[in-house]
């Protein structure tokens, strides 16, 4: 390390915290800026670092699923966020879900107590000189957004993201809502979800009420678009569509989407329901449950009226109503390298959702890579450009090589990985086996690459472990 081995990180979300920890553990002095509570975002509810504002699920933990493969790669690279998440896990079958308050509190405690991290609670409206990681997230402040647009020479794009409601467990009618998992195997283990079953008539009554319900106008979000930063199309990210938007695609679209009843049997009737709403535990105490896949932009009064038409939620009390917020991301193919460096300034790295990487673990993983590369930059070492056969490498390749005119955020998925080589005469493999082959190849490529570049992971952190190598 040189005497100037200092790093500035803007944004205390998943990406920023992961990057800060990786750099600090390697002896870099980090200044981490987080504007909350000095400046609110409209979506966050606390001043904690790494607050999860949408679902509390971090996706599948199964190693042959896209999100699970990404987690396994992060584990082998020494992810700080993943260790914290697993310490705060709540029942979610084959998925990794966390008690959101405990999760953000744990990360805040560890970051705040690290001897190499200085946490500054104020807005950073400019991009300073020196080595910087910009991880300001989808709710970047107007002043910083203008600075980014000016520096990168790239207009920002916008899309709207919606949050699902959360209800108090004691207000759920468990004489109707039953505890079960799809097929009682695979991704979900028995008893991890509460299920609210619909008859056909109940479902159509619900959809009719949903379609006629009043939604919040988007003008309040459009007003946040500041001078000098032109908005792109005002659209929803496909993976977070509000249920009322899905319902407009057809009366049965919800029954084949977030309300699909496959693999579930209503114990009261012994038959599969016509549709289902699943509830997932949202805190360690089991006092809160969120409506899985039920993002919405209905007014709060309409949410109370319409969502109480769900069987089992007729007396539901809401700890949080669904809401919408504007997400911001740069046109990454025009301004970023696969190392997550800005093309116009090699000592500036971007990480998290502002890059166009979607999903909690995708954001954290990009912070992991940015943190490691910032350290390597400070040490005058070659930067990491992960193999495209790895999930993180494929994500970084996608966001930096997509067609700029149609660029949209991307979650981890097997479709962005290079195709498996064909073996003449070999039998055709099924989808599950093919996923396992993709995952095995990814881990093998990652381990070989990290060994060759000498990028060995630091030991798994504990609550009292702040030593670095």
Q: Are 68 and 351 in contact (CB under 8 A)?
A: no
Kindly indicate whether the domain formed by 6-156+330-453 is annotated with CATH number 3.50.50.60. yes
Q: What number of other Cβ atoms are within 10 A of residue 148's Cβ? A: 25
In DSSP notation, 252-283 reads TTTTTTTT--TT--BTTTTB--SEEEEEEE-S
Which pLDDT score, from 0 to 100, does residue 38 have? 67
Is the pTM higher than 0.95? The answer reads no
Q: Which two tokens stand for residue 322?
A: 């669904």
Count the Cβ atoms, other than its own, within 10 Å of residue 250. Answer: 12
Report pLDDT for 197. 97
- Cβ burial of 308 (10 Å; 0-12, 13-18, 19+) is middle
First to last CA, the chain: 11
In 3D, which of 185, 195, 190, 139 has the Cα closest to residue 163? 139
**Bridge partner residues of 8 (DSSP):** 31, 132
pLDDT at 466: 41
What is the predicted pLDDT for the residue at 458? 73
Which pLDDT score is estimated for 129? 94
In DSSP terms, 195 is beta-bridged to 178, 278
> How many Cα atoms occupy the beta-carbon half-sphere of 154 within 13 Å?
22
Q: What is the pLDDT of residue 374?
A: 98
CA pair distance 223, 227, nearest whole angstrom:
10
Sign of the torsion angle spanned by Cα atoms 304, 310, 316, 319: negative
Query: What pLDDT, on the 0 to 100 scale, is given for residue 200?
Result: 96
- Residue 315: other Cβ atoms inside 10 A: 11
Instruction: Report pLDDT digits (tens) over 281-313.
Output: 887 778 889 999 898 889 989 999 999 999 999
Helix (H) or strand (E) holding 245: helix 243-247
Instruction: Give the pLDDT score at 411.
Output: 84
Cβ-proximal residues to 383 (8 Å cutoff; 6+ apart), any chain:
339, 341, 373, 376, 377
**What are the extents of the domains in the chain?**
6-156+330-453, 162-326
What letter would DSSP give residue 238?
Answer: G
354/369 Cα distance (integer angstroms): 15
Q: How far apart are CA 222 and CA 158, in angstroms?
A: 10
197 DSSP β-pair partners: 276
- Could you state, in chain order, the average pLDDT of each consecutive group of 10 residues for the chain (469 residues)? 76 94 96 78 69 84 94 96 94 88 93 95 91 88 82 66 85 95 56 92 97 75 37 50 90 94 93 96 83 90 95 93 78 93 96 90 96 97 96 95 80 87 71 91 96 78 44
Name the CATH code of domain 162-326 (choices 2.40.30.260, 3.20.20.10, 2.40.110.10, 3.30.2130.10): 2.40.30.260
pLDDT recorded at residue 391? 96
Looking at residue 123, its pLDDT comes to 87
Contacts of 396 (CB under 8 A, 6+ apart): 338, 339, 340, 366, 369, 385, 386
């Amino acid at each position: 390390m040189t005497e100037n081995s200092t790093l500035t990180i803007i944004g205390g979300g998943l990406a920023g915290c992961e990057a800060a920890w990786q750099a600090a553990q390697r002896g870099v002095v980090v200044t981490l800026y987080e504007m909350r509570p000095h400046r609110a975002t409209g979506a966050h509810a606390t001043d904690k670092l790494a607050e999860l504002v949408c679902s509390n699920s971090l996706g599948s933990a199964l190693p042959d699923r896209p999100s699970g493969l990404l987690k396994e790669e992060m584990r082998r690279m020494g992810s700080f966020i993943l260790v914290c998440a697993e310490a705060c896990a709540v029942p979610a079958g084959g998925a990794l879900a966390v008690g959101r308050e405990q999760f953000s509190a744990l990360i805040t405690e560890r970051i705040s107590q690290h001897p190499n991290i200085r946490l500054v609670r104020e807005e950073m409206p400019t991009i300073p000189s020196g080595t910087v990681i910009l991880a300001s997230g989808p709710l970047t402040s107007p002043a910083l957004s203008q600075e980014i647009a000016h520096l990168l020479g790239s207009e920002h794009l916008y899309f709207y993201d919606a949050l699902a409601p959360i209800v108090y467990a004691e207000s759920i009618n468990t004489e109707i809502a039953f505890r079960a998992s799809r097929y009682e195997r695979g991704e979900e283990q028995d008893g991890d979800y509460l299920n609210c079953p619909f008859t056909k008539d109940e479902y159509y009554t619900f959809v009719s009420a949903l379609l006629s319900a009043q939604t919040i106008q988007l003008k309040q979000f459009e007003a946040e678009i500041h001078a000098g930063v032109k908005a792109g199309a005002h659209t929803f990210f496909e993976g977070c569509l509000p249920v009322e938007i899905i319902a407009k695609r057809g009366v049965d679209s919800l029954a084949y989407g977030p309300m699909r009843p496959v693999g579930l049997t209503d114990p009261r009737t012994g038959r599969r329901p016509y549709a289902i709403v699943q509830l997932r535990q949202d805190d360690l105490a089991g006092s809160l449950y969120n409506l899985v896949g039920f993002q919405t932009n209905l007014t709060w009064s309409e949410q109370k009226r319409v969502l109480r038409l769900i069987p089992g939620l007729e007396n539901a009390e809401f700890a949080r109503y669904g809401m919408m917020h504007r997400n911001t991301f740069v046109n990454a193919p025009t301004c970023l390298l696969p190392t997550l460096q800005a093309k116009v300034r090699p000592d500036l790295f971007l990480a998290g959702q502002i890059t166009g990487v979607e999903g909690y673990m995708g954001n954290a993983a990009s912070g992991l890579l940015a943190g490691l590369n910032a350290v390597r930059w400070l040490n005058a070492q070659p930067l990491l450009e992960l193999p495209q056969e790895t999930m993180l490498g494929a994500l970084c390749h996608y966001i930096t090589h997509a067609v700029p005119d149609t660029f949209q955020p991307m979650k981890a998925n097997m479709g962005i990985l290079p195709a498996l080589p064909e073996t003449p005469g070999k039998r055709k493999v099924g989808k599950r086996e093919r996923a396992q082959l993709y995952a095995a190849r990814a881990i093998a490529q990652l381990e070989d690459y990290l060994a060759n570049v000498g990028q060995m992971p630091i030991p798994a952190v504990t609550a009292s472990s702040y030593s670095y190598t």
